[in-house]
Amino acid sequence: MPERRWRTVRPEGAVEVVLAGTQVEVARKLARRLLDGKTLRWDSLSRLAPSGGDRVDVERTVAALIEGGLVDVGERRDRAGDFRPYQFRLSEGAEDRLRRLAGDDPRAADLRAGRARRLVDALAVMAGQPGVLPVPARTLVQRALGNTKVVRVSDYRAEIEAAFELPLDSLVRDHAVAVLTTGPFRIRFRDRTIDGMASLPWTAIPEAVLREAQAVEVDADEVLTIENLTPFETLSYRGDTGGRILVFTSGFLGRAERKWLEHLVGSGRIRRVLHWGDIDPGGLAIYRDLADLVARASPAVQVEPWKMEPKLLSHSAAVPLTPRDRERLDNWVADATAPLQDIARSMLLDGKKLEQEALLFDEGA
């Protein structure tokens, strides 16, 4: 049995959590479930994404609730020995605070205005130091509010830009995130060309480059997205791409992965996106999230599973489903809108699931 624990944050003093933009919508969805006493699965976060948002928005909201002492997170050790979140619940005694946060609390506007004023004041002081701009976002938040995870600076873009009459990106920088990818593509960025085949085993494209790309040239008609790093790197080292563009999703797609896929399917050259993931409930959820993204970016592009056929559950490396797996799969097949129903039903019938790494050296996979 994997080692498990509940992590509870008990902030010193009265910590007020102020949400903005899409975070408010997410908090309201969460409140409806958490206030009923439910314990929610971490891998269900993508279903709580707001209109026009994604899983990243939900995770940021949950992180703010955790740091504010409103939510406890259940963690368990993975195979590498690291604790990873897998569920979360309402913290003891946090009911009233969550109701105020998710509702139409008349104090919300005042709280937001106070946070904005403190961010602007702290930024003004920091900007007076030579060579400091743009300042790191978390440093600014810590300086202004005493906790790096209390707010997301971009949610206060309007107030900060109005105060300084400058674009937020010239004042504040966030952590860089990058997508790992390889294949026949070229990105024009600041009048230079980034060649997707010029680096081994892959090329890391930062989100900032994707935002400012002047052009993306694609010499492929298929993209293969891969859930886990080892399979992605193995195919990349081999050069076994089949002429496709390979994209590492790192589990659920983050900001950089989502932006890159939007560029690719929006190029007009891609006709199909294949996805290779674990044959388990998490793999199904990742596929669904990816398929929804592609459908929004370009409805004409097909999304199909790759090496995720039901027959693979007979592999010797397949392992039994857990009771929790069965519960998730039962919910999946009961949802008529959920894709890959044949795979979900086969997992339930066979009582097995399979990690994609098991296929790496089978039949030249």
Indicate whether 25 and 117 sit together in one domain: no
Indicate whether 299 and 220 sit together in one domain: yes
CATH of the domain at 248: 3.40.1360.10
Residue 11 located in a structural domain: yes
Indicate whether 192 and 338 sit together in one domain: yes
Its pTM stands at 0.64
Indicate whether 136 and 215 sit together in one domain: no
Indicate whether 118 and 189 sit together in one domain: no
Q: Which amino acid is at 268?
A: G
d(CA 260, CA 257): 5
Classify 190 in phi/psi space as left (phi over 0), alpha (psi -120 to 50) or beta. left
Question: SS3 for 167?
Answer: coil
**Spatial CA neighbour of 9 closest among 147, 111, 189:** 147
Residue 161 located in a structural domain: yes
Residues 6+ apart with CB under 8 A from 292: none
Q: Considering 173, 204, 229, which residue would you say is the last residue of a domain?
A: 173
Indicate whether 193 and 289 sit together in one domain: yes
Domain count, the chain: 3
Indicate whether 302 and 320 sit together in one domain: yes
Query: Whole domain around residue 124: which residue ranges?
Result: 108-173
Q: Considering 102, 128, 150, which residue would you say is the last residue of a domain?
A: 102
Indicate whether 115 and 240 sit together in one domain: no
Per-residue pLDDT of the chain (365 residues; tens, 9 = 90+): 557 888 877 665 445 676 666 777 788 888 878 877 778 888 888 777 776 666 777 887 888 888 778 888 888 887 767 778 889 888 877 777 777 776 655 566 677 788 899 999 999 999 888 888 889 988 998 899 887 766 778 778 889 999 998 888 889 987 778 999 999 999 999 999 999 999 989 999 998 899 899 999 999 999 999 999 999 999 999 887 889 999 999 888 888 899 999 999 999 999 999 999 999 998 998 899 899 999 999 999 999 999 999 999 999 999 999 887 898 899 899 999 999 999 999 999 999 999 999 998 764 44
Judge whether 265 and 302 are in contact, CB under 8 Å: no
Judge whether 311 and 342 are in contact, CB under 8 Å: no
Indicate whether 213 and 187 sit together in one domain: yes
CATH of the domain at 59: 1.10.10.10
Residue 364 located in a structural domain: no
